[in-house]
Structure 1
Amino acid sequence: MEAYQNDKSNITEAYGNILIETGNMEKFAESVAMKMLNTCPDIILAIGMQYVDEVDDNEENYDHEEEVPSIIGTIVSVTDNQFIVVEIKETSGKRTKLYWLDYFEGDNIILNALTKKDKNIYIFEYVDIELFDPNIKEYRDYKVLSNVTEAE
């Protein structure tokens, strides 16, 4: 910062206002880094290694796929109220309601179930979304369909 203050007019002439104008700070930093490579390459190497380590750490955190919640079962009913509600009978016998709020892959399976009795077993993937329920005047979790596929 001291070097910048001492040579501010030359830097501004060469790079513009590096503190305000977008992209100018990067150009200035690249120029400084290139000069540092000649005088103190160990520091640039250390900064580069630190960056690589940070990238590796971030990739490790994102490599783990999140498990999507799913239910295996048959379609018991499809109700068309404010939203379409699909009632599923899980293989354990438990009944669960899933809400169809948006496009998802496999929506044709639900459309077909509206017109005929379908006893096939499917895998229903969903996301939990917290929405305000005006009837009970509080937030509650809804299971919203995100994918439907045939179980193998």
Structure 2
Amino acid sequence: MSKKISILLIALLSFGKIVAQDSALDKMAMEICEYFNKNEKEFKDMSTSDLTAKLGVQMVQTYLKYKDELAKEGINYDLTKGRAEGEKMGAKVGVSMIKFCPDILMAIAGDEVYEDENEVVESYLEGTLKKVSGQDLYVVEIKDTDGKTQKFVWLTNFEGSDRLINLGNDVTGTKVGVSYTNLEYFSPKLKEYIVRKKITRLEFL
């Protein structure tokens, strides 16, 4: 569970009791809460990361169960698009779960509520590859869904890099989803710190 979700939990809880509504989202949230309540003893000694993984699995399973009802309420998620879409769903379901089992959510959040402000945050966007250029350092250019060209530095091995290498010069127009982190480093030329987007994973859509 991300830091943003953990902070959101605390903020919403401060407003007191939230009145539940009989919506598909609430049914989904209630079912997940019931699952954790019934298996409380099993989860008692689990780490935060293991509990988060369990929560993710339950969210996906219940989403698929109520997918048609959720669609009627205008709630749709394409879980084949990767982590970003799953995080959107998790944030929405998490807010609804606060109505039924806030204690469970806070237990799952664990120490992440108190994470350092300098934590590394991974972001995600989709678009089409334009080109890969550079000599000692490769820069991957992607045209995002808004038509803006985004540049990413290729510094380390990442999931999807082998396929990108195999594409060679035939990258233009390939649809991808890219996960990245912001990397700050000192530029001797500019004599100041600058931020670049570092690729951590590349999905071919």
Using the size of structure 1 for normalisation, the TM-score is 0.55
Larger strand share, 1 or 2: 1
Tell me which of 160, 176, 189 is aligned to 1:135: 189
Aligned length: 97
Find the counterpart in structure 2 of residue 149 from structure 1.
203
The CA deviation at 1:82 is: 2.7
Indicate whether 1:120 and 2:174 are aligned.
yes
Find the counterpart in structure 1 of residue 109 from structure 2.
60
Find the counterpart in structure 2 of residue 27 from structure 1.
none
SS of alignment partner, residue 142 of structure 1: strand
Which amino acid is 2:129 matched to? I
Structure 1 segments (4+ residues) deviating >4 Å: 55-59
Distance in 1 (alpha carbons) for counterparts of 2:180 and 2:139: 13
| Structure number with larger C-alpha Rg | 1
Which amino acid is 2:197 matched to? K
Cα pair 1:109 1:148 within 8 Å, conserved: no
Distance in 2 (alpha carbons) for counterparts of 1:92 and 1:116: 23
Which amino acid is 1:124 matched to? V
Question: Tell me, which stretches of 5 or more residues in structure 1 are unaligned?
Answer: 1-51
Find the counterpart in structure 2 of residue 109 from structure 1.
163
Larger helix share, 1 or 2: 2
User: What's the % identity of the aligned pairs?
Assistant: 27
- Superposed CA deviations along residues 4-55 of structure 1, whole A, max 9, x for unmatched, are xxxxxxxxxxxxxxxxxxxxxxxxxxxxxxxxxxxxxxxxxxxxxxxx9xx9
Find the counterpart in structure 2 of residue 98 from structure 1.
152
Distance in 2 (alpha carbons) for counterparts of 1:117 and 1:141: 25
SS of alignment partner, residue 119 of structure 1: coil
- Superposed CA deviations along residues 49-75 of structure 1, whole A, max 9, x for unmatched, are xxx9xx9967523578x9730121111
The one of the two structures with greater contact order (alpha-carbon pairs below 8 A, sep at least 6) is 2
